[in-house]
Amino acid sequence: MRRIETSIESVKTDIGHFYRADQHHFSVMNAVDLGEKIEVQWFFCDYAQPYETIAFCAQITPDVEIPSIRDIVSSAWVAEAELVDLADIKIEGTPKGFVLETDSEIGPLRKKK
């Protein structure tokens, strides 16, 4: 797994420069609760050699809204909707309620304070 460190301001530009639909496969998004911050990860794999797994990683504070990458990777809406519900983070244009009911526990994957 190759990590590419990025920031919330430049992640969309970085992924836009990197991603080619005929070369890269978007796997999933992930969020890791680091305490004060959350690390958001976007995973891609190659269709051909070297078959590397590439992770764009950006650390955010929970109140920040993340830009959506749907206009670059059209299938990313499912991964974004999942993270909004399970990690209780804000993603541009993504409402809650796709994975969990709106009255469910908020952000079950976040650590309890």
Find out whether 31 and 38 touch, Cβ atoms under 8 Å.
yes
Instruction: Return the exposure string of 11-33: e unless at least 16 CB atoms fall within 10 Å of the residue's CB, then b.
Output: bbebbeebbeeeebebeebbbeb
Question: Is 41 a residue that touches other proteins (CB under 8 A)?
Answer: yes
Question: Is 5 a residue that touches other proteins (CB under 8 A)?
Answer: no
How does strand 65-66 pair with strand 90-91? parallel
Instruction: Show contacts with other proteins in window 43-82 (CB under 8 A).
Output: 43, 45, 47, 51, 53, 55, 73-75, 77-79, 82
Question: Is 8 a residue that touches other proteins (CB under 8 A)?
Answer: no
Which residues of the chain form contacts with other proteins (CB under 8 A)? 1, 21-22, 25-28, 30, 32-33, 41, 43, 45, 47, 51, 53, 55, 73-75, 77-79, 82, 86, 98-100, 108-109
